[in-house]
Amino acid sequence: MPVKNDAPALPGSRAVAKHVRMSASKARRVVNLVRGLPAKEALTVLQFAPQSASEQVYKVLASAIANAENNERLDPDALLVSEAYVNEGPTLKRFRPRAQGRAYRIRKRTCHITIAVEAVQVARPAKKASAKKANKAAEPAAAESQSTEGAE
């Protein structure tokens, strides 16, 4: 029996790069860096990551952000990397000649990189400021009540 998810799905978008000529394990190291980060921050992390896989992951993330912005009309500053995973693709098999007529197999691995972004509510600083004002207004009243209790 399928499990129903009652939580409303947040608006978002995704991008997939298939048959990337790179080992899935090497790409996963980079993808794990950006999972759960805000999209703009994730782009910055990928831009300065030393791994060669970061270039491909950067392109996929940029595409997911562009899809959300153009297709779904979402604000790129309010996007969060909700899903990021790498699956193995088909392996190209080649042979390397070795001594005495033997042949060793060379595996040229590929992977599929998938990144999904979704819009999140951005906390507005105006609400925080009004809450601070309310707390400051309540503090003098509480101080007055304490001082009157001590006088009695």
Q: What pLDDT score was predicted for residue 106?
A: 96
Mean pLDDT of the chain: 83
Give the domain ranges of the chain. 12-122
pLDDT reported for residue 58? 95
In this prediction, residue 11 carries a pLDDT of 83
Which pLDDT band, with edges at 50, 70 and 90, does 121 fall under?
confident
Is pTM, for the whole model, over 0.85?
no
Apex CA 76: angle with CA 82 and CA 22, to 5°? Answer: 55
pLDDT single digits (tens) 6-35: 555 678 889 999 999 999 999 999 999 999
pLDDT in tens, 90-99: 999 999 999 9
From 135, 133, 138, 115, select the one nearest 57 (Cα to Cα): 115
* Token representation of residue 69: 């912005």
**Which residues lie below 8 Å from residue 58, measured CB to CB, with a gap of 6+?**
43, 46, 47
Q: Determine the topology of domain 12-122 in CATH.
A: Ribosomal Protein L22; Chain A (3.90.470)
